[in-house]
Amino acid sequence: MMSAAVSCDPRKAATGLSVEERDWMASIAGARVQFDVPMGRHTTLAVGGPADALAMPADIKVLTLLLSGARQRAIPWLIIGGGSNLLVRDGGIRGIVIALTPYFKGITIMDHGPEDVRVTAKAGTRLQALCRYAIERGLAGMTFALGIPGSVGGAIAMNAGTADDCIGDVLETVTILWPTGRLQRLGRADLDFGYRRLALPTPEIATGQRQGVIIDGTFTFSRTDFRQLRISAQKRKAERKQRQPVGVSSAGCFFKNPPSGPSAGELIDRAGLKGRRVGGAEISSRHGNFIINRGNARAADILALAEIIETRVAVKFGIRLEPEVIIAGESDYASKSV
């Protein structure tokens, strides 16, 4: 789960980073930036070629310097959280991958009343940590998200949820860092949520920047009986465990559900594709909308399976499935001597 990279000069995006660019990043982030990092180590699918740079900023100041400097140098960047809902192609990612999960973590109660409690979670906080935090305190509103992987920031950006509930239902405000360095807090009325998406207002369009970085989100939860909430949570977790593959590498649900009719998983099942393999990738026999890495898959294997699914479902049912997983990077690695 993540925000999109800004657009940039395509010539620079295709050729990697220069010595000057690497020195600039190291001067800002020190040991918290690494170069030529295999993205399979940082995604739940465990596939993906090398990122030119992987930065893990420790605070807003460093993150701002990275974003503003990348903007000035026309270097593309990509924000990631826990690396779920992300498929990186075998050629890797040109530019900077910025991971928020290591340092942008924390949950704070902002205020509370007799019925409602407002809680702020930083973008790098694991979504499951926020779920547990709410349940342990008898705060209703996050049970639907149990079992959904990723970070709070990614969950907000993708409006993560189920068929019945989603993050947008409980989110009150979100703090955005724009590439120009401006921090802005947006209320619920300013946020355009849709199915598995969040469209932010774009006041920075005039400067050529398309996307802001989610720094934190504030949620409103309602007080409820702790024991009943815990029972409901245990039931929800057991249902997910029964329906979905566990203990394997995946990105969660691979395709969005169609606007109406059967879900993507049902369509894939009816198309007879469960258990289908390409290389080390397999369509889960437990849930058709999960493509799993059996341990030696390449991104190309997963993409080939996804194409098989799209084609078979389109031919059999006349429905075109759209990926829910963000697909990033290049098929082939184009290096540059530095």
In order of 141, 150, 156, 199, the CA distances from 192 in angstroms are 20, 21, 11, 5
pLDDT in the model for residue 332: 73
Catalytic: which of 21, 204, 282, 324?
Answer: 324
Do 237 and 138 lie in one domain? The reply is yes
pLDDT in the model for residue 16: 81
Do 116 and 76 lie in one domain? The reply is no
Domain boundary residue, one of 75, 99, 123: 99
Do 232 and 137 lie in one domain? The reply is yes
> Does the residue 40 lie in any domain?
yes
- Torsion, Cα 71 47 58 137, to 10 degrees, reads 120
Do 297 and 260 lie in one domain? The reply is yes
In order of 67, 259, 301, 337, the CA distances from 42 in angstroms are 20, 32, 18, 25
What predicted TM-score, i.e. pTM, was given to this entire model? 0.88
> Does the residue 54 lie in any domain?
yes
112 vs 38: CA distance, rounded Å = 44
Q: How many C-beta atoms lie closer than 10 Å to residue 137's C-beta?
A: 15
> Does the residue 307 lie in any domain?
yes
pLDDT in the model for residue 286: 94
pLDDT in the model for residue 216: 97
pLDDT in the model for residue 333: 58
Residue 26 tokens read as 């190291």
Catalytic residue check, 253: yes
User: DSSP class of residue 225?
Assistant: -
> Does the residue 248 lie in any domain?
no
Do 120 and 23 lie in one domain? The reply is no
User: DSSP class of residue 168?
Assistant: G
Domain boundary residue, one of 185, 209, 242: 242
CB crowding 211-249: b at 16 or more within 10 Å, else e = bbbbbbbbbbbebbeeeebeebbeebeeeeeeebbeebb
Residue 337 tokens read as 């001597």
Catalytic: which of 22, 118, 188, 196?
Answer: 196
> Does the residue 338 lie in any domain?
no
> Does the residue 333 lie in any domain?
no
> Does the residue 300 lie in any domain?
yes
Catalytic: which of 253, 276, 298, 312?
Answer: 253
Do 95 and 111 lie in one domain? The reply is no
The CATH number that applies at residue 57 is 3.30.43.10
Do 115 and 237 lie in one domain? The reply is yes
Per-residue pLDDT of the chain (338 residues; tens, 9 = 90+): 333 333 333 334 445 899 999 999 999 999 999 999 999 999 999 999 999 999 999 999 999 999 999 999 999 999 999 899 999 999 999 999 999 998 999 999 998 888 899 999 999 999 999 999 999 999 999 999 998 989 999 999 999 998 889 999 999 999 999 988 899 999 988 988 998 888 877 654 434 445 789 999 999 999 999 899 999 999 988 888 888 998 899 999 999 999 999 999 999 999 999 999 999 999 999 999 999 999 899 999 999 999 999 999 999 999 999 999 999 999 875 544 33
Do 219 and 115 lie in one domain? The reply is yes
Do 231 and 277 lie in one domain? The reply is no
The CATH number that applies at residue 136 is 3.30.465.10
The answer to whether the CB of 298 falls within 8 A of the CB of 279 is yes
Domain boundary residue, one of 219, 242, 265: 242
**Residue 251: closest CA among 130, 109, 124, 81:** 81
Do 218 and 263 lie in one domain? The reply is no
Do 222 and 269 lie in one domain? The reply is no
Catalytic residue check, 324: yes
Catalytic residue check, 196: yes
As for how many domains the chain has, the answer is 3
314 vs 335: CA distance, rounded Å = 37
280 vs 94: CA distance, rounded Å = 25
pLDDT in the model for residue 208: 41
> What residues make up the domain containing 89?
10-99
> Does the residue 328 lie in any domain?
no
The CATH number that applies at residue 284 is 3.90.78.10
Do 116 and 173 lie in one domain? The reply is yes
